Structure 1
Amino acid sequence: MNPCEFLQWCLAILVLLVIYIYWKTREAYIFWQSRNIPCRKPTFLVGDFADVLLGKKSLGEAAQDAYNEFKNKGPYAGFSMLLSPRLVVMDPEAIKNVLVKDFQHFHNHGSFHNEKDDPLSAHLFAVEGEKWRRLRVKLSPTFTSGKMKMMFGTMMESVNELEDYMDKAVLQNSVLEIKDILARFTTDIIGSCALGIQCNTLKDTNAEFREIGRRMITNKFYASIKRSFTTSYRNLARKLKFKIVDPTVSKFFLNTIEKTIKYRETNNVQRNDFLQLLMQLKNKGCLDENEEGQDVDDKTALTLNEIAAQAFVFFIGGFETSSSTMSFCLYELALNPDIQNKCRNEINKTLEQYYGKLTYDCALQMAYLDSVIYETMRKYPTIPMLPRMCSKDYILPETKTLIPKGTGVIIPVRGLHHDPNIYPEPQKFDPNRFTEEAKKTRHHFTYLPFGEGPRICIGIRFGMMQTRLGLISIIKNYNIMKSDKTSVPLKIDSRAFLTSSVGGIILNFERLGK
């Protein structure tokens, strides 16, 4: 083939590719139009995803925009993620159908995982169907209140280290970037409770576990493109052997889990932590204690890779979400000193009832603190949208419209949480929204920081407890104030999938009398 013919072939292929992309773009538009579901006219190639790809908006913000634009036009809207159609579910009752009532049609997240080439990606959040059901049944007993009490002493060791660190840090400089401090605190808790390893990230800012944590949560442009592609074209991504877990992180976790298990089994070491429970599932297929929710009929053992994947998602899901929630909470308390004082008074009074000792039961008695945390998660939902995948053809109850198998679903959590018709003055920080009386006035499915239904976050108890403990430790010991370096309002990072602030959160801490 001469150069001229080669060029002609290249041009022909390019033209065919452009025609194909144009056809797919138009198909995505017609997909929703033909079903009488309101949507925007998608942009060539990228659909409704241009601002996300350019880093101008996060996926959560894009979903919120769709919610705000279409919420008064019906319970659903159409959205195009690249060339892939997504159904945005906006009505609380319709959301309930997707997450609970018709769960059998939407039991998958639609997240990319590649168990063969990327074993850590095959964790509880991402796996589907029978694989998910089996893992969920086996792992649910590891997060009972009894297991949380078992880990409480281990968690308190990290709380004491946080208090020591804060005392020393404030003596040197009262103005601190609190997000990184709390990320190190949660890294230490998760490392200890999940892996039985002393991470020491509070004592050593360059500790290996902290660097691994930073690599897990990357907001680089390439990572955003890769995440979008693997989510939209999962089968193709698997054939191309795509990996979404950083190879350095994957190697570190697999080696760490293998070495830790080998050491414990060789030396007969027992610890009250998550890994010990996973080891029971590896060796016996079930836990030693037959607690609530355990399916004793299924005693299929977990593999080493399955254990590593669950420890990985527990680590990544625990340290970033809780540290962000605590940071946003302290920021709001600095801006609202009356709420801060009320919260501190409750903490001190409750501690008095327990003779000054912070116990598991004591932490659960602080109702106003919980309301403050709930309001923080309303205003700053760590996961701003919930993904689902239609696993078999579904008829929308309100419209009798067929949604075919394989269609993605988006539930715009941030849109719901910031809807003034649901939460008046949504930018106002008001914990009174979460009194028992106030909660009864709203539809249950208008507040979804942990998801809902059978695929609700399995680690709610753990996440809430470490968040409570971190906040109690700081609020009871420090007056939290704005500094000249505090950003008001906060700028939310548009490149991040999880809700996070640009440049961290800088606050002023004044030590209260001991």
Structure 2
Amino acid sequence: MGWPVPSAPRNIMYYIFVLPLLIVSLWVYSKWLSMKGYWKKLGVPHEPVHPLFGSMSFLQKKNPGTWMIELQQKYRSSPYVGIWIFWRRGLVINDPELARKILVKDADVFRNRMLASGKSDPMGALNLFTVDDPLWTSIRRRLTSVFTGSKLRGWQELYQAKVEDLIYRINSDNEKGIVIELRPLFADYATDIIGESSFGIQCQSTRDSTGPLRLMTKEFEKYNHWRGMAWSSIFFLPEMVDIFRFSFWPKNTVAYFRKVFKAMVEERGGFEKDIDGKRDLLDALLKMKIDAKKENQDMDLDILISNAMIFLQGGYDTSSSTLTYTVYELAYNPKYQKILYDELVEAEKALDGKRFDAEKSLRKYAIMGWLDRKALRDYQVDENLTIPANTVVYVNAIGMHWDPKYFPNPEEFRPERFLPENANNIVPYSYLPFGEGPRMCIGKRIGMNTVRYALAAVVLNFEIFPMDKFPLPNDIPIEKKGLFYLPAVPLSVEFRRRKYN
């Protein structure tokens, strides 16, 4: 008796489901083999390749900054490492001179970034952080006037008022027996600085952790698996953003900020009032819209709102996190705390002290540890390697910050590395907390001032001590769901008011 012949319906089901699945599997396998051999054929050290995730299977398991540090340590002898961002070619740069070429010398080849948001998320897609040329150049040029030296000097009274609020808050919480969590404390302060300097809004978050902008920044701080997937897509797989309708910011904050922005614009007289755009960020954004109208161009209101939101997040988040790490390190390093205090007293409380500032913590805790760029055309990296157009390049800033070749004993908090007499020992472009070149951080100076004023005021008024049951600085767990290099647990110290006060 012969084998039974499958019925026609079963044959049809086979061709409809099994055969296409087989074809797709074979294609994926072929693609995987090609990816596995790509960097090897070019003689480039490279990471193992997952058939679906490429080199990115670490996402949501560890912070990208942690991964970048590990790459630098693993491939320390190589100036670059080949990776796959899912199925897209990528090259991680571990060498300061190559970093200079990509960020500065050949910046025109690397004008655009890898990360991007989609059409379903206009707010996340239209700001300086995510947008590409030519819109990026236009926005950057118009907003540069907000961050001039004279403008920052004009905000000294604001800084002084807010650090007084900060000292009041610490004293008040101490009297109430409250264990002070550092990041929320400094987030309150930094939100006030951004709110008043950039938007002209009177803020009291430093004193009581409330206010319309602080409601938003508290939402920015919340990470769950869905938002982690959203950010992973925006930074590493933008094609998925529209499919899953991911958004850069929580959608409730976008709706809320629309209302806040509309109220701020109406208070300034709307888009009909002619202004010079030099007062603050809000004025500069209003002028962008007004100038576009004069030139018979249509500038979407979402462009203004998106850039207002990115300045709020970028300004408060980086400053508050830097202050958190710095104060926490000082609690465990009383020697440096005393040096800083003595120098501030000697300089008659000069709050812009030149010998110690935020840069010392930005070496060890670079908030965004990599600088992503995309090659617009084929590019010769060095005499051994040419990469094709559209290859993604990551300058491994935090990896170089943790490389003992550039910073001996990198895990140690040693501010003297940056003293004037030692500055010449730092290899150019091995220290990149704000990036370099045309796309370096536009808010660098306001961020540094925000940290300097607060740090000086805190150290002049309080001695800082570690507390039981909190991790040592080198044992701080880093956020895994988010992409910025932020602490994953609350961090607290003890503030003891100095006796002379």
TM-score (norm 1): 0.88
Q: Determine whether 1:38 maps to 2:45.
A: yes
Give the 3 Å change call, closer, same or farther, for CA 171–466 of structure 1 in structure 2.
same
Match of 1:335 in 2: 332
Give the 3 Å change call, closer, same or farther, for CA 4–153 of structure 1 in structure 2.
farther
Q: Determine whether 1:224 maps to 2:228.
A: yes
**Distance in 1 (alpha carbons) for counterparts of 2:155 and 2:290:** 21
How far apart are residue 182 of structure 1 and its match? 0.6
User: Does the 8 Å contact 2:111/2:373 carry over to 1?
Assistant: yes
Moved more, 159-168 or 330-339: 159-168
Identity %: 25
Give the 3 Å change call, closer, same or farther, for CA 252–24 of structure 1 in structure 2.
farther
How far apart are residue 186 of structure 1 and its match? 0.8
| Higher CA-based Rg | 2
Match of 1:499 in 2: 485
Q: Determine whether 1:137 maps to 2:137.
A: no
The amino acid that maps onto 2:363 is R
**Distance in 1 (alpha carbons) for counterparts of 2:79 and 2:164:** 48
User: Does the 8 Å contact 2:117/2:125 carry over to 1?
Assistant: yes
User: Does the 8 Å contact 1:155/1:193 carry over to 2?
Assistant: no
Aligned residue for 1:504, secondary structure, equals coil
Give the 3 Å change call, closer, same or farther, for CA 90–430 of structure 1 in structure 2.
same
Q: Determine whether 1:406 maps to 2:403.
A: no
Match of 1:368 in 2: 355
Q: Determine whether 1:323 maps to 2:320.
A: yes
User: Does the 8 Å contact 1:84/1:232 carry over to 2?
Assistant: no
**Distance in 1 (alpha carbons) for counterparts of 2:248 and 2:391:** 22
- Aligned 1:43-62 pairs, distance under 5 A: 43-52=50-59, 55-62=60-67
User: Does the 8 Å contact 2:355/2:420 carry over to 1?
Assistant: no
- Write the deviation string for residues 111-132 of structure 1: whole angstroms up to 9, x where unpaired: 1133674234310111112111
Residue 63 (structure 1) aligned to one of 40, 44, 68:
68
Aligned residue for 1:333, secondary structure, equals helix
How far apart are residue 419 of structure 1 and its match? 0.8
Match of 2:158 in 1: 154
- Aligned 1:263-278 pairs, distance under 5 A: 263-265=267-269, 272-278=279-285
How far apart are residue 437 of structure 1 and its match? 2.9
- Aligned 1:246-395 pairs, distance under 5 A: 246-265=250-269, 272-284=279-291, 303-351=300-348, 362-364=350-352, 366-370=353-357, 373-395=358-380
Is there any run of 5+ residues in structure 2 with no aligned partner, and where? 1-7
User: Does the 8 Å contact 1:283/1:301 carry over to 2?
Assistant: no
Give the 3 Å change call, closer, same or farther, for CA 383–327 of structure 1 in structure 2.
same
How far apart are residue 485 of structure 1 and its match? 3.0
Aligned residue for 2:154, secondary structure, equals helix
**Distance in 2 (alpha carbons) for counterparts of 1:236 and 1:484:** 44
Residue 490 (structure 1) aligned to one of 459, 476, 491:
476
Give the 3 Å change call, closer, same or farther, for CA 19–220 of structure 1 in structure 2.
farther
The amino acid that maps onto 2:373 is R
**Distance in 1 (alpha carbons) for counterparts of 2:446 and 2:202:** 18
The amino acid that maps onto 2:171 is D
Q: Determine whether 1:177 maps to 2:181.
A: yes
**Distance in 2 (alpha carbons) for counterparts of 1:268 and 1:77:** 53
**Distance in 1 (alpha carbons) for counterparts of 2:370 and 2:425:** 23
- CA RMSD for the aligned pairs? 2.7
How far apart are residue 394 of structure 1 and its match? 0.8
Give the 3 Å change call, closer, same or farther, for CA 254–247 of structure 1 in structure 2.
same
User: Does the 8 Å contact 1:335/1:482 carry over to 2?
Assistant: yes
**Distance in 1 (alpha carbons) for counterparts of 2:121 and 2:487:** 33
**Distance in 1 (alpha carbons) for counterparts of 2:346 and 2:88:** 54
The amino acid that maps onto 2:128 is L
Aligned residue for 1:66, secondary structure, equals helix
- Write the deviation string for residues 30-81 of structure 1: whole angstroms up to 9, x where unpaired: 22123221113312212222222xx331112222222222221x32210122
How far apart are residue 430 of structure 1 and its match? 0.8
The amino acid that maps onto 2:195 is G
- Write the deviation string for residues 356-385 of structure 1: whole angstroms up to 9, x where unpaired: xxxxxx433x12222xx2221111111111
Match of 2:405 in 1: 421
**Distance in 1 (alpha carbons) for counterparts of 2:50 and 2:345:** 56
User: Does the 8 Å contact 2:119/2:242 carry over to 1?
Assistant: no
The amino acid that maps onto 2:486 is S
Moved more, 458-467 or 498-507: 498-507
TM-score (norm 2): 0.90
Aligned residue for 2:180, secondary structure, equals strand
Aligned residue for 2:382, secondary structure, equals coil
Match of 1:189 in 2: 193
Give the 3 Å change call, closer, same or farther, for CA 511–269 of structure 1 in structure 2.
farther
User: Does the 8 Å contact 1:21/1:44 carry over to 2?
Assistant: yes
Give the 3 Å change call, closer, same or farther, for CA 487–461 of structure 1 in structure 2.
same
How far apart are residue 107 of structure 1 and its match? 1.3
How far apart are residue 26 of structure 1 and its match? 2.6
Aligned residue for 1:87, secondary structure, equals strand
**Distance in 2 (alpha carbons) for counterparts of 1:234 and 1:56:** 20
Give the 3 Å change call, closer, same or farther, for CA 268–85 of structure 1 in structure 2.
closer
Residue 248 (structure 2) aligned to one of 222, 227, 244:
244
Give the 3 Å change call, closer, same or farther, for CA 28–265 of structure 1 in structure 2.
same
Q: Determine whether 1:465 maps to 2:449.
A: yes
The amino acid that maps onto 2:154 is M
User: Does the 8 Å contact 2:274/2:290 carry over to 1?
Assistant: no
User: Does the 8 Å contact 1:120/1:305 carry over to 2?
Assistant: no
Give the 3 Å change call, closer, same or farther, for CA 369–115 of structure 1 in structure 2.
farther
How far apart are residue 456 of structure 1 and its match? 0.8
Residue 19 (structure 1) aligned to one of 6, 18, 26:
26
User: Does the 8 Å contact 1:60/1:385 carry over to 2?
Assistant: yes
Moved more, 102-111 or 239-248: 239-248
**Distance in 2 (alpha carbons) for counterparts of 1:380 and 1:157:** 28
Q: Determine whether 1:450 maps to 2:450.
A: no
Match of 2:4 in 1: none
Aligned residue for 1:243, secondary structure, equals coil
